[in-house]
Amino acid sequence: MAIPFPWTSVVVDESWLNRNRELAYRYMRCSTEAIVTLKRNRGDSERIIGKYMKIIDPKLMATEFEFVALLMPDYIAPTLDGIKLILENFGKEYPDAPKRDPKEFVDGSIIERLKSERFVEGLKS
């Protein structure tokens, strides 16, 4: 549908992040590893999808896997276009929201740290 989406972002208060940056980093490492593991282990991932979505049809499991694997980036992070869309939708209730810069609401430093460490590349296949 080409609608910008902020992904499955982790939303925390800025003061919490300042106090718990290392915990947030470890959480993002685990989340990233889980996504990459899902993508690299198709058979296991399809079985897990089937189990938790209560799907018994292997073709449907494969379809769901393809959908998730293609859609989900290795590093989960909000898109600025997705944040902009949210701010625009808040405009009815909060008239100043659409005027705000989406960058005000995103701290990409943890994702940038993971990328600079080449975390995904370091995961075993």
Tens digits of residue pLDDT in 61-97: 999 999 989 888 898 888 888 889 999 999 999 999 9
Long-range contacts of the stretch 62-70 (C-beta < 8 A, 24+): 68/38, 69/38, 69/39, 69/42, 69/45
pTM: 0.82
Flag whether pLDDT at 27 surpasses 90.
yes
- More confident of the two residues 73 and 36: 36
The predicted pLDDT at position 73 comes to: 87
3-state secondary structure of 20: coil
**N-terminal to C-terminal alpha carbon distance within the chain:** 32
Q: Which structure tokens are listed for 65? A: 């896997």
61/114 Cα distance (integer angstroms): 30
